[in-house]
Amino acid sequence: KAGVTQTPRYLIKTRGQQVTLSCSPISGHRSVSWYQQTPGQGLQFLFEYFSETQRNKGNFPGRFSGRQFSNSRSEMNVSTLELGDSALYLCASSEKNTGELFFGEGSRLTVL
Partner 1 sequence: QQQVKQSPQSLIVQKGGISIINCAYENTAFDYFPWYQQFPGKGPALLIAIRPDVSEKKEGRFTISFNKSAKQFSLHIMDSQPGDSATYFCAAIAGGGNKLTFGTGTQLKVEL
In the complex, what is the shortest distance from the CB of residue 37 to partner 1, in angstroms, rounded to a whole number?
9
Tell me whether residue 15 or residue 57 sits nearer to partner 1 (CB atom): 57
- What amino acid is encoded at 10 in this protein? Y
- Judged by CB under 8 A, how many residues of this single chain contact partner 1? 25
> Whats the size of the chain, residue-wise?
112
Region of 105 on the Ramachandran plot (φ > 0 left; ψ -120 to 50 alpha; else beta): alpha
Residue of 71, 105, 110, 112 interacting with partner 1 (CB under 8 A)? 105
Would you say 48 or 85 has its CB closer to partner 1?
A: 48
Verify binding: residue 109, partner 1, rule CB under 8 A: no
CA distance 84 to 38: 9
Cβ-proximal residues to 2 (8 Å cutoff; 6+ apart), any chain: 26, 27
Rg value, the chain, Cα: 13
Residues 4-63 contacting partner 1, CB under 8 A? 4, 31, 33, 35, 42-45, 48, 55-56, 58
Residue number with CB closer to partner 1 (52 or 80): 52
CB of 101 to partner 1, least distance (A): 6
State the minimum distance, in angstroms, from the CB of residue 75 to partner 1: 17
CA 61 to chain CA mean position, Å: 14
